[in-house]
């Protein structure tokens, strides 16, 4: 099983790529020290950030756990894009000069231990001097503001309704129903329940330091503001002399 099956993947691509677009300028600035290096993207989805990386001239290996997302990325980025299905936290990551990820990808893992495993795997795959930058949901994300317990959006050929709850301090649930045309004049309905694990993100810098990466937890990649509780972890791998 994987998150982001076909219908939600299409809706995310068409309606929710704005987060990657906002994060891209800050990520490109962070990548400046590895200008000629290989960038590994984790959880690329339909390629919303990937296209910015490629347009800036980076060599990119873009990975995701959802084959439906990867099909959309293939359609958007063309046959030459290096797209691979890699599911965190257990599948090995290729060595890279930078590892980037947007859209709180590691928060989709089943528990905090799995998130730690993924973070350690990223640190291990980074080459010395390499850049790490990803966003992740903090415990603070579970404080759902009044009136923000649900949302809905309607476009010409899709609709989405989501309900949000935090049944435990470290769990944020999105209960998502999607509607897309079924090709026969009616609407097809699908449903996904996304369980995001919330972590104390201040712990991650210490974990990364143990694995050779000097990182800090920040409110954003650059200047673009992120939603409260969505934190950025960014840093670089030590060069041993
Ligand atoms: C909110 S989407 C963000 C997609 C893309 N980065 C963007 O900003 O548009 C989260 C992505 O994480 C991927 N994902 C979730 N769990 C994963 C896992 N265990 N391993 C790899 N990818 C995963 C999903 O397939 C999805 O594409």
Q: Which of 231, 197, 229 is nearest to 111 (CA)?
A: 197
pLDDT computed for residue 51 by the predictor: 98
Taking only the tens place, the pLDDT of each residue in 141-185 is 999 989 889 999 999 999 999 999 999 999 999 999 999 999 999
Any atom of ligand 1 within 6 Å of the Cβ of 88: yes
pLDDT digits (tens, 9 = 90+) for 115-128: 999 999 999 999 99
Place of tokens 């791998």: 237
Question: For 152-172, what is the HEC assignment?
Answer: EEECCCCEEEEEEEEEECCEE
More confident residue, 1 or 81: 81
**CATH code linked to domain 141-197:** 2.20.25.110
Nearest to 41 by CA among 50, 33, 32: 50
Cβ pair 232, 133 in contact under 8 A: yes
How far apart are the C-alpha atoms of 233 and 142, rounded to whole Å?
Answer: 19
Q: Is the pLDDT confidence value at 16 over 60?
A: yes
Ligand 1 contact, 102 CB (< 6 A): yes
Is the pLDDT score of 241 beyond 70? no
Coil, strand, or helix at residue 185? coil
Cβ of residue 109 lying under 6 Å from some atom of ligand 1: yes
- Could you tell me if the CB of 49 is within 6 A of ligand 1? yes
Report whether pLDDT(227) > 60.
yes
Q: Are 162 and 175 in contact (CB under 8 A)?
A: yes
CA distance 173 to 120: 25
Q: In angstroms, what is the span from residue 106 Cα to ligand 1's centroid?
A: 8
Q: Where in the chain is the domain with CATH 2.20.25.110?
A: 141-197
The whole-chain average pLDDT of the chain stands at: 97
Task: Kindly state if the Cβ of 83 falls inside 6 Å of ligand 1.
Answer: no
Does ligand 1 have an atom closer than 6 angstroms to the CB of 73?
no
Which atom of ligand 1 is nearest to 48's Cα? Answer: 9
Average pLDDT of the residues in 208-224: 97
pLDDT value at residue 47: 98
Q: What residues does CATH 3.40.50.150 cover in the chain?
A: 6-138+198-237
- HSE-CB at 89 with a 13 A cutoff on CA atoms is 19
Q: Could you give the percent of the chain with pLDDT greater than 90? A: 97
Pocket flag, ligand 1, residue 131 (CB < 6 Å):
no
- Beta carbons within 10 angstroms of residue 29's beta carbon: 12
CATH code that applies to domain 6-138+198-237: 3.40.50.150
Give the closest residue (by CA) to ligand 1 atom 13. Answer: 43
Substitution candidate for ligand 1 out of 7, 8, 41, 64 with most atoms within 8 A of CB: 64
Model-level pTM?
0.97
105 C-beta closer than 6 A to ligand 1: yes
Contact 197, 171 (CB under 8 A): yes
Burial of 152 (0-12, 13-18, 19+ CB in 10 A): exposed
């Amino acid at each position: 099983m994987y998150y982001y099956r076909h219908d939600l993947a299409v809706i995310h691509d068409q309606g929710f790529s704005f987060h990657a677009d906002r994060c891209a300028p800050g990520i490109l600035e962070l990548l400046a020290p590895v200008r000629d290096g290989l960038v590994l993207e984790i959880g690329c989805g339909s390629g919303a950030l990937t296209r910015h990386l490629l347009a800036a001239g980076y060599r990119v290996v873009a990975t995701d756990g959802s084959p439906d997302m990867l099909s959309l990325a293939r359609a958007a980025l063309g046959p030459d894009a290096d797209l691979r299905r890699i599911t965190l936290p257990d599948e090995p990551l290729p060595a890279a000069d930078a590892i980037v990820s947007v859209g709180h990808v590691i928060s989709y893992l089943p528990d905090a231990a799995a998130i730690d495993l993924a973070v350690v795997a990223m640190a291990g795959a980074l080459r010395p001097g390499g850049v790490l930058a990803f966003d992740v949901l903090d415990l603070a994300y579970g404080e759902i503001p009044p009136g923000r317990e649900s949302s809905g959006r309607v476009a010409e050929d899709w609709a989405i309704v989501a309900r949000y709850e935090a049944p435990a301090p470290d769990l944020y649930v999105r209960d998502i129903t999607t509607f897309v045309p079924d090709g026969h004049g009616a609407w097809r309905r699908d449903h996904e329940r996304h369980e995001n694990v919330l972590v104390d993100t201040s712990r991650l810098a210490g974990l990364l330091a143990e694995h050779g990466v000097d990182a800090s937890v920040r409110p954003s990649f650059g200047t673009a503001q992120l939603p409260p509780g969505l934190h950025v972890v960014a840093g670089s791998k030590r060069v041993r002399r």
